[in-house]
Amino acid sequence: MSKEIKGYRQQPGKLPFAKPGSGGREPFSKLRDLEMIPESEGGKRPQPKGKNRHDHLLTGSSVGKRTPLVDSNWKVTGQAKYGDDIRIPNELIGRILRSPHHYARIRSIDTSEAEAIPGVLAIETGQQHTDLFGVLPVTKDEHAMAVDKVRHVGDLVACVAAENEATALEALRKIKVDYEILKPIHNMKKSLDNVEEPIHDRGKYHIGQSNVQKRVFQEFGNFEGMKKPHASSKEKWKFAGVNHGFTEPHAVVANWEPSGRLTLYTPQQVPHYVHRSLADVLKIPMHQINVHRTFVGGGFGGKSDPFPHEMCAAILARKTGRPVRITFDRDEVFYTNRGRHPSQIEMNVHVDDNARICGIETDALIDGGAFASFGHVTTYYNGVLHTAPYEIGSFHYTGARVWTNKPASGAMRGHGAVNSRCAVELGIDDICTQLEVDPISFRLANLLPPHSSTITGFRITSIGMRECLERVREACDWEQKFRKLPLGHGIGIGCGFFISGSGLPIHWDPNKFPHATVHLKIDMDGGVTIHTGAADIGQGSDTVVAQSVSEVLGVPIEMIRVKSRDSDTSPVDLGSYSSRVTFMNANAAISAAIEIREELLKATAEICNVSKDSLVIGDRRIYQKKDPAVGVSYLEALHKAQEDRGALVSSGAYRTPPMGGVHKGAAAGLAPAYSFSAYAAEVKVDPETGITKVIKVWAAHDCGRALNPLSVEGQIIGSCHMGLGQVLTEEMKYGRNGSLLNPNLLDYKIPTVHEMPEVVPIIVESNDPEGPFGAKEAGEGPLLPILPAVCNAVYDAIGIRTNELPITPDKLYKQIEKKMKVLDIKSPLDLPNPTLEHSELQKTLDERTIQHRNRDQERKLNTEREPYYNGTLFGKVSTIPPEEQDENWTLSVTPSEEYLTKPRLAGSAWKHQEVRYMKKGDDA
């Protein structure tokens, strides 16, 4: 019988193993896809950015291919179980009594009447659970429920477990709370002052008697150059707070199992911190708790704190001995918040006569709401994350995060970087207008090169900023549009820079735990089980980890299963925040897979009697590179490797290399790699109404290497959607008495499909030397540039610079009216349309761009490159840190006395002495 042979054959003379799972759709292994194998490994994929340390591991299996999320079939069939979908027999319904007051002392709580209702099984208040918790170990300031004071409307007062929801709600109504109302603070400026009753008694140290939670002062660089700038842009910004707006409200199920252990089912981004907090609050060891991460219906940072309601569920379940499920209404989500901080930012950008950015001065006052949350980090990020990708002569930052009686702000996509990035990019645009140069040319001539150091000492490895800008400029037809479109129609550019994984884990440990650990297990069936604690919140982390293992072992992704839900079975992972998962978890997965790969190669070498180094891995087959007929199937190699020991297991871990400076706060913003992005947005603004409509966005993002281009594009487009919300419509509105006016999705305006413009995602691959297969983050960075791109486009359309977000029609029209008055114009249609005639400086910029492009290309490919420190553009020797060669080069993290005589807004937080806070009547 004639037979067609489609792929590789078994090596003659070798007996095939029995075939578990035979009868598959694809009986033959595919040929190695040479298009996916880099040139340096004998394939056909070009490597214009040089080689990567993982190149030799590529098998062409799945990295770089558009891969549907591995769990997507659960989602599309409705089988995915989110928080509220966990239904355990015999469950009770938990509900939470929340404070109706902004700020009040709890005199007493009377639960007797509520407890008497039939069907009410437990009522708990804060008195019995006084242990503090919080996401950062240094700022634990939350309780399961209010102990003495409620600090914002919606703060937790008591919780109830009952047979059904109606009974639980009835019980809440019958709980009598006697409040002594205190004077609330809603205005963040007032929180800078000393008050009689600070919102938190922070124990040992206090910044005066004020509500300043964290203050930062940083000065880097030579401030001489800044004193007489050629051009300056000064702006005072107001940013409204925004909420994540994930579609799944928080929900949690707690169940104390017969073994006496607690399993907490929760849609969490960071299960490990919940794990720690539960142990603190419940006073049981961590090993007695299993945190089960359910499917997460969107996180964006809003599900990354350990939450009081999670503690409540565990407390209620412990008391009743039955499972307890708590699900939020949408308004409770808004009162829990942790969204982006409302902030007031003063941004001054200075440029010298050579069109170099000789100074950035930023002062950011951010409104933290009632709790610290990630506040320490946010306060730093508002400053340090806009010191790149440009080379800067000097940087001055004062930041303060204050407590107010509002729902707490926290981490949200683009954590801390978004608002100040918007401000600095508008400053640059403004300066370019003053200098009469093209803003893209300006940026291209002021970029840091690859493998350099920023002004604050961050280590830049790969940087694709130049390519992002150039590709966006080409794609959007910039030359034909910028400053050339008619009135009411404009285009603008904005850039972004974001960390790819935080260099210091939050729970820093002297034992030097790794950031991420991944375990692999392969048994006789050949399928690979990955155990990882990385929390898939919809971004596709399970998929990326599966792809990495699939790539190294040469098995199709269908043969990989990811077990990432239970803390019992997954190695500790720090969770999905700071855009760390792809970088750190995929790196850990690769190192785990390398161990298995070695075993397989060793077994193959033994079977075929060839040297291990001559082997390569293809689709489910391991063979000699020069003679593909010699080799064995994956399963045969596996079974050989399993002889006498059974299932293969391995463990891989990732830790960031040592890096960064030594000054206080040097670790904030440190990352093993950074992502870069440049967006152009085209908008139409109706001058007669102030309505802004974004019509198209060109979005270039440097993600190092797109492991899964489908997901990267999804993240880019999704980021645009979220950023557009913040820039145009979304706002947490607080009324005059400080009440939240729009805690629902009707009044909180998330863009619908009609508001969403077409987005052209442009993936730029800079091939990071340390990233997994060259990859960096793509989850948060893509949000940053959309805000300034839209704002700058609005200026291009009608010549008005906004300094307040969101740009709602009423605000914009007020500015239009004001401008009409100043210019004495009758109709908004007569507003002057911005134009551009290039000045002499444009030539300087273009020349410098060409020089720098060559410099960058050389640094990319030359592996023996010299160091490059920020400051070189200003005449310093590139290989020596500027502070070592210039005595005027400041590096300071405390304000001088001279500064304190005239501090700026957030800077005035430094007027307070750090003191031991004394309680009233405490003489000690």
Partner 1 sequence: MSGMSNTPHVPMIPTGEKASWNAIINSRIFDNINIDSNAILLDVLRDSTGMLGVKRGCDLGTCGCCAVLIDGVPKLSCLTLAAETKGKEITTVEGLADGAHLHPIQKTFAECGGSQCGFCTPGFLVVISALLNENNNPDDKEIKDAIEGNLCRCTGYQQIIESVHAAANILNSKEEVEDNTTAKIDPHPGIDRVQE
Which residues within the stretch 547-566 sit at the binding site for partner 1 (CB under 8 A)?
555-556, 558-559
Which position among 33, 85, 142, 542 is part of the footprint of partner 1 (CB under 8 A)?
Answer: 85
Q: Which stretch binds partner 1 (CB under 8 A): 12-20, 285-293, 579-587, 664-672?
A: 12-20
Residue 1 CB, shortest distance to partner 1, in Å, is 7
* E strand or H helix that includes residue 788: helix 786-798
- The yes or no reply on residue 3 touching partner 1 (CB under 8 A) is yes
How near is the Cβ of 329 to partner 1 at its closest, in Å?
Answer: 6
Segment near partner 1 (CB under 8 A); pick from 11-19, 352-360, 421-429, 914-922: 11-19
Residue 339's contacts (CB-CB under 8 Å, 6 or more residues apart) are: 241, 242, 243, 244, 302, 409, 410, 412, 732
296-315 residues in contact with partner 1 (CB under 8 A) are: 296-300
Q: Please, which residue, 245 or 785, has the CB nearer to partner 1?
A: 245
Which among 95-103, 440-448, 497-505, 889-897 is the span making contact with partner 1, rule CB under 8 A?
Answer: 95-103
Find out whether 285 and 53 touch, Cβ atoms under 8 Å. Answer: no
Assess 249 for contact with partner 1 (CB under 8 A): yes
Residue selected from 344, 461, 633, 815 as contacting partner 1 according to rule CB under 8 A: 633
Binding string to partner 1 for residues 350 to 389, with x set by CB under 8 A, is what? Answer: ----------------------------------------
Residues numbered 522 to 551 that lie near partner 1 (CB under 8 A) are 525-527, 537-540
Give the total residue count for the chain: 924
Interface residues for partner 1 in 462-501 (CB under 8 A)?
Answer: none
Contact with partner 1 (CB under 8 A) among 50, 488, 661, 714: 714
Query: Which residues in the 722-741 window bind partner 1 by CB under 8 A?
Result: 722
Q: What is the C-alpha R_g of the chain? A: 29
Selected from 9, 44, 53, 56, the binder of partner 1 by CB under 8 A is 9
Chain centre distance of CA 218: 23
Strand-strand pairing, 804-805 and 231-239: parallel
Cα gap 199→858, rounded to integer Å = 55
For residue 474, the one-letter residue type is E
Residue 527: alpha-carbon gap to chain centroid: 32
Applying CB under 8 A, among 635, 728, 764, 906 the residue interacting with partner 1 is 635
Q: For the CB of residue 453, give the shortest distance to partner 1 in the complex, in Å.
A: 35
Q: How far is the CB of 502 from partner 1 (least distance, A)?
A: 22
Binding mask 835-864 for partner 1 (x = CB under 8 A): ------------------------------
CB atoms within 10 A of CB 45: 17
| Pick 59 or 327: Cβ nearer partner 1 | 327
* Interface pick for partner 1 out of 329, 598, 627, 847 (rule CB under 8 A): 329
Nearest to 552 by CA among 604, 515, 592, 505: 592
Strand order in the sheet with 621-624: 615-618, 621-624, 631-633
As to burial, measured by CB atoms within 10 angstroms (0-12 exposed, 13-18 middle, 19+ buried), residue 745 is: middle
Q: List phi, psi (to 5°) of 863.
A: -80, -15
Q: Are 783 and 712 in contact (CB under 8 A)?
A: no
Q: Which of the ranges 90-98, 131-139, 359-367, 601-609 carries the binding residues for partner 1, by CB under 8 A?
A: 90-98
Q: Is the peptide bond before 389 cis (omega within 30 degrees of 0)?
A: yes
User: 608 to 627, contacts with partner 1 by CB under 8 A?
Assistant: 619-621
Q: Tell me whether residue 7 or residue 50 sits nearer to partner 1 (CB atom).
A: 7
Residues between 659 and 698 that touch partner 1 (CB under 8 A): none
Q: Cis link prior to 806 (omega < 30° from 0)?
A: yes
Q: Are 445 and 852 in contact (CB under 8 A)?
A: yes
Q: How far apart are CA 350 and CA 346, in angstroms?
A: 13
Among 331, 352, 566, 606, binds partner 1 (CB under 8 A): 331
Binding partner 1 (rule: CB under 8 A), the pick from 295, 395, 482, 654 is 295
Nearer to partner 1, 347 or 784 (CB): 784
Instruction: Tell me which residues in 738-757 interact with partner 1 (CB under 8 A).
Output: 743-746, 750, 752-754, 756
Residue 241, token pair as written in the block: 């707070």
Contact pick of 154, 208, 369, 672 for partner 1 (by CB under 8 A)? 154
Minimum Å gap between C-beta 455 and partner 1 is: 34
Q: Does 284 bind partner 1 (CB under 8 A)?
A: no
Name the residue among 263, 250, 275, 259 with its Cα closest to residue 317.
Answer: 263
Which residues 21-80 are close enough to bind partner 1 by CB under 8 A? 21-29, 68-69, 71-80
Cα distance between residue 149 and residue 129, in whole Å: 14
Judged by CB under 8 A, the number of residues near partner 1 is 107
- Build a one-symbol-per-residue string for 218-247: x at contacts with partner 1 by CB under 8 A, - elsewhere: --------------------------xxxx
- Choice from 449, 718, 828, 907 touching partner 1 (CB under 8 A): 718
Considering the rule CB under 8 A, would residue 252 count as an interface residue with partner 1? Answer: no
d(CA 133, CA 283): 12
Residue 81 found at the interface with partner 1 (CB under 8 A) = yes
Residue 15 touching partner 1 (CB under 8 A): no
Quick check: 720 binds partner 1 (CB under 8 A)? yes
Handedness of CA 139, 140, 143, 146 (dihedral sign): negative
Name the nearest CA neighbour of 520 among 653, 649, 652, 654: 649
Angle between helices 418-435 and 786-798 (to 10 degrees): 40
Can you tell me which residue has the tokens 């650990």? 517
Per-residue three-class SS string for 378-423: HHHHHHHCCCCCECECEEEEEEEEECCCCCCCCCCCCCCCHHHHHH
164 versus 885: smaller Cβ distance to partner 1: 164
